[in-house]
Amino acid sequence: MQEPELHDLSDDADYAASQQHGSASMMRSNSGKHSSSSEHDGAEVIYLKDNVTIHPTQFASERISGRLKLIKQGSSLFMTWIPYKGQNSNARLTERDRNLYTIRAVPLTEVRSIRRHTPALGWQYIIVVLSTGLAFPPLYFYNGGVKEFLATIKQHVFIVRSADDANVFLVNDFQNPLQRTLSSLELPRALSVASGQSTSVSVGETSSDENQERTSGDVYEGSISSSQYNERQRQRVHDPARDLSIQVLEKFSLVTKFARETTSQLFRDNHSNGYGAIERRSNNQSPIDYPQKASSDSNKVPDKSPVPPDSLEFDKVSLVWGKPRQAPLGSDEWKTFLDYEGRIMDSEALRKRIFYGGVEHELRKEVWPFLLGYHAYDSTEAEREYLRAVKKSEFETIKRQWQSISPEQAKRFTKFRERKGLIEKDVVRTDRSLSFYDGDDNPNVNLLRDILLTYSFYNFDLGYCQGMSDLLSPILFVMEDESDTFWCFVSLMERLGPNFNRDQNGMHSQLFAITKLVELLDIPLHNHFTQHDCLNYFFCFRWVLIQFKREFEFDKTMRLWEVLWAHYPSEHLHLYVCVAILKRHRSKIIGEQMDFDTLLKFINELSGHIDLDAVVRDAEALCICAGENGAACIPPGTPPSLPVDDDGLLLYPQQELDDVL
């Protein structure tokens, strides 16, 4: 049982606490041993959640995502967590390593308690502690769903809240010690059919061959650092001051710079001939090559592990200045990108060109549908014309759905009335100073309303949310045609929809990524935000929610958007734009000791005073400097990445199950 630990959970108070329950060793089950047991005949999946992830080390690139399930078989309930196959080609996390963490059909009768964490910012996670006292690594719910998970368990298994801690749910844990003993003795036996022995047996069985094979760098690194931290943690557990800081750390899953440096130092020292060398090689690649890889597949976790750079270097060495901006793409040049049937021959070159210069306004109507993903780059002119016709009639069909609601019907359709009312309130206060939208009874304002209402029927679950009218307005201004505008907007919302989710997950993951990026790229600024309680980054909320729409004049917003939509050099360039703006004002922010309120005010008042070209150049430079380490700061599925496939689960959860327990 006393095998070296793979996990560095140095900042996880609960993990430390869970270790104190019993053995200090982490439980792992061997995937090979129970491969047939997870899905028996008659088994019914009663809960399924994708993108439940473990963080074996503090490196974002080494996270392992998988699918969490609750399976009911007869009267027994099992929990499984299977990592995705082939999704993570991380050099240091082999398939075998990943399988170590696989949870195959653990009966709930073997679970002692489940501790949940639902920080306001950052991911919810749970820690499952088994009757033996062993604990699984924290399972982070990237897509939310902890409440449903607990609610589902509650429907099938006796589960109570701990009197000591409202976030701890006791399973099979009775007040009476005798009962507890009895239940832990008897129940697992009764359920051993489906790998009931997985807990203790697997650890014993696997440890020997694991030890032999454990030569990869992460193991050593993890084992060394985690034992150090565990020692530290034990000393700190009862320190209230520490509890406070732990709450802060927990909230943002922060890994201290110290921890990172220590581990990376150890890593470099111990493995200079091994993976470290590979790593260094990979870091010497042209930085330009890498971001396209990262953006080509939103699900993909960056495949190289980062050597955390010394952030201070960035401040000493002046930034590699982003390339000078070019003139916007004009129609003559545009034609050179098209083949004789109107296909775009080299979409990457086109995106790069647009990134550096944008598009002339007259040409936007033609180019934006590609950037937004409404038209495929390899479609022919004829195919696009056909698609437009088909989509037009589809649009009309959806539009008729709400148009056909009579006033009588609307009286009994509160949801529709409210939604319409909200939209009507917002369109009349969207860009009305623009001549395109000004004046009474402006037909374009009515178009905004019709398109938003149609969208709210097209995507009824997401509905209408404030900010959408800001995103739609420039698209209508460019596209003019109602149906084209609608479908371009639909494409944009495919990517930005999560910004408007009820649980605000899309926003949280982006704000979280900014936190991590600033920590990577500007430690003094990060420290300032830490000290001044600004780590929630809510002062960037408006920037992110509507892609800086309120920060620039209308024409500059259009320019910025096409630059961002080019997804070059990163799909998440907007996050680097945030960092770039903050960095531009860092000396003022730090020098004036701005607290959260002052900072929010300061940021809000930057509106209209941001130099677009300079900020985009900075963002490009920061993105290149950050390289893979930057990409590793951004959780998978963070908008505008396309949402991770949810297997038909609700993309837009209507509401969290409120206090089901």
Give residues in contact with another protein (CB under 8 A).
Answer: 120, 241, 244, 418, 422, 425-426, 429-430, 432-433, 465-467, 469-470, 500, 502-504, 531-533, 536, 538, 541-542, 545-546, 550, 593, 595-597, 600-601, 604
Q: Tell me how far, at minimum, the Cβ of 512 lies from another protein, in Å.
A: 14
Q: Which residue number, 436 or 538, has a Cβ lying nearer to another protein?
A: 538
Bridge-partner residues for 77, per DSSP?
A: 72
Paired sense of beta strands 139-141 and 159-161, if any: unpaired
Query: How many CB atoms lie under 10 A from the CB of residue 436?
Result: 15
Q: Tell me how far, at minimum, the Cβ of 597 lies from another protein, in Å.
A: 7
Where do runs of H (alpha helix) occur along 566-659?
573-584, 586-591, 596-605, 612-631
Q: Which residue number, 307 or 589, has a Cβ lying nearer to another protein?
A: 589
Q: Tell me how far, at minimum, the Cβ of 550 lies from another protein, in Å.
A: 6
User: How far apart are alpha carbons 566 and 412 in whole angstroms?
Assistant: 45
Q: Tell me how far, at minimum, the Cβ of 542 lies from another protein, in Å.
A: 4
Q: Tell me how far, at minimum, the Cβ of 142 lies from another protein, in Å.
A: 17
Q: Which residue number, 215 or 531, has a Cβ lying nearer to another protein?
A: 531
Which pair of tokens denotes residue 437? 């939208």
Q: Tell me how far, at minimum, the Cβ of 236 lies from another protein, in Å.
A: 14
At a CB cut-off of 8 Å and minimum separation 6, what does 212 contact? none
Q: Which residue number, 204 or 439, has a Cβ lying nearer to another protein?
A: 439
User: How far apart are alpha carbons 424 and 447 in whole angstroms?
Assistant: 11
Q: Which residue number, 384 or 419, has a Cβ lying nearer to another protein?
A: 419
Q: Tell me how far, at minimum, the Cβ of 170 lies from another protein, in Å.
A: 26
Q: Which residue number, 202 or 530, has a Cβ lying nearer to another protein?
A: 530
Peptide bond into 569 cis (omega under 30): yes
Q: Which residue number, 248 or 345, has a Cβ lying nearer to another protein?
A: 248
CA dist 647 → 48, 50, 105, 266, 661 (Å): 9, 8, 21, 41, 27
Q: Which residue number, 120 or 163, has a Cβ lying nearer to another protein?
A: 120
The CA-based diameter of the chain, rounded to the nearest angstrom, is 84
User: Which of these, 297, 291, 303, 300, lies nearest to 351 by C-alpha position?
Assistant: 291
Q: Which residue number, 87 or 527, has a Cβ lying nearer to another protein?
A: 527
The dihedral region occupied by 331, where left means phi > 0, alpha psi between -120 and 50, and beta the remainder, is alpha
Gyration radius of the chain's alpha carbons: 27
Q: Tell me how far, at minimum, the Cβ of 248 lies from another protein, in Å.
A: 10
Q: Tell me how far, at minimum, the Cβ of 417 lies from another protein, in Å.
A: 9
Q: Which residue number, 101 or 537, has a Cβ lying nearer to another protein?
A: 537
User: Which of these, 606, 565, 598, lies nearest to 582 by C-alpha position?
Assistant: 606
Say how many CA atoms lie within 13 Å of 232 toward its Cβ.
Answer: 14
Q: Which residue number, 85 or 429, has a Cβ lying nearer to another protein?
A: 429
Long-range contacts of 512-515 (CB under 8 A, 24+ apart): 512/121, 512/122, 512/252, 512/253, 512/537, 512/635, 513/572, 513/575, 513/633, 513/634, 513/635, 513/638, 514/540, 514/544, 514/575, 514/578, 514/579, 515/252, 515/254
Q: Which residue number, 540 or 573, has a Cβ lying nearer to another protein?
A: 540
At a CB cut-off of 8 Å and minimum separation 6, what does 124 contact? 116, 117, 118, 140, 141, 144, 145, 146
Q: Tell me how far, at minimum, the Cβ of 119 lies from another protein, in Å.
A: 11
Q: Tell me how far, at minimum, the Cβ of 490 lies from another protein, in Å.
A: 20
User: Is residue 199 a contact partner of residue 74, using CB atoms and an 8 Å limit?
Assistant: no
Using the 8-state DSSP alphabet, how is residue 359 labeled?
B
The packing angle between helices 505-521 and 573-584, to 10°, is 50
User: Which of these, 1, 67, 82, 85, lies nearest to 37 by C-alpha position?
Assistant: 82
Q: Tell me how far, at minimum, the Cβ of 608 lies from another protein, in Å.
A: 13
